[in-house]
Amino acid sequence: MMAFAASLNKIYAQDLLSQSSSSVLLGDAADLFTETIQIISRSGKIFILTNSNQLMNKGDFITLVLRESGPVARAVVAKNHNGQVGIKILKVYSLARWSKMAKGLDVQIKRGDDSALFVVKKENTPIENQAPSINSEEDLFNDTSLIDEDLSDFYKDNRLIKPDNIVSVAYNQFQFSHDVPGEATTESHSQFAFSWGYQFSDNFWVEGLFGRVQMDGFPAQGTQTIVSNFTGRFKYTFKAPLYSYIMPYIGFQTYSVSSPDAGFVENDTDQARERAQRETDAINGLQTSELAIGVTLLRRLVPGWFLKADLGTDILSLGFAIEF
């Protein structure tokens, strides 16, 4: 049965190729409307057209027509968005007319049944093979399912990570040293950092990161210090093994510190004044701005989700990220 079906398909394809040398005359043009070709994929199987007439919707079967020549190809609308449609070519009626397809060309569109469009009139003319994107019968007939990834890959052909956005949350330890008397010389506190990256060009990203840590009992018992850090980064994506990506980055980080009670002089003694000054110096020492250099590692867990690690001068963190 499978061999019989394959034989029928081959016979039908050969018949179509023989018909492509025929003169296909335009029949009923009453239902035609005009749109413009904006993009043609490298394979020639996906077109982006205008939808200025708002007559094409996802799932519609349409025929591309050259008004002075006749039907060119049969297609289906795979995506409709912002006044544009993405279509996938199902079969080609004429290689001669197909070779005229180009960006910026106005074509007529027939929705639904196109049997009234043309009448075939045999002529003994040689087959014109002028379409470099049609090299075999497989290119004329494509039975594969239409999926959104076809158009997504076409729009973002060079992107290693297809979506434009990645948001993440990560855990890290915020550590620093100080010389406030009576306190530990090194402070260590847990911090959660949140980031949002946007892919503004193929594999180029801009990312913003925000982290906040609340330190109770520093710089003295009964006081509280809040440190917020803001980081801006530029990144580039490289592909790595095991569904992973390496993203070197460079950016700028700045800290904002709030500690209202730091530097309070409890009594008028040299020791109290010295402690208050060291508290003030410790807080001022946290309010810094510096260059951020490092690398982000992304390991895909499931579609849309990553394990994320940041290793840099600005932060050492581990968390999760989602793309959209």
Rounded distance, CA 33 to CA 134, Å? Answer: 26
- CB burial of residue 24 (10 Å; 0-12, 13-18, 19+): buried
SS3 of 51-81: CCCCCCCCCCEEEEEECCCEEEEEEEEEEEE
Q: What is the 8-class DSSP label of residue 2?
A: H
pLDDT number for residue 144: 46
pLDDT string in tens for the chain (324-residue length): 434 344 434 433 434 433 443 444 444 455 789 999 999 888 888 999 999 989 999 889 999 998 888 889 999 999 888 889 999 999 898 888 888 899 999 999 988 887 777 555 555 555 454 444 555 544 444 444 444 445 544 444 588 998 899 999 999 988 877 767 656 577 888 999 999 999 999 999 999 999 999 988 888 777 889 999 999 999 999 999 999 999 999 999 999 998 887 767 777 777 777 777 888 888 888 888 999 999 999 999 988 999 999 999 999 999 999 999
pLDDT number for residue 9: 42
pTM to 2 decimal places: 0.53
**Structural domains in the chain, sorted by start:** 24-155 (2.40.30.20), 165-323 (2.40.160.20)
The answer to whether the Cα torsion of 21, 9, 26, 101 is positive or negative is: negative
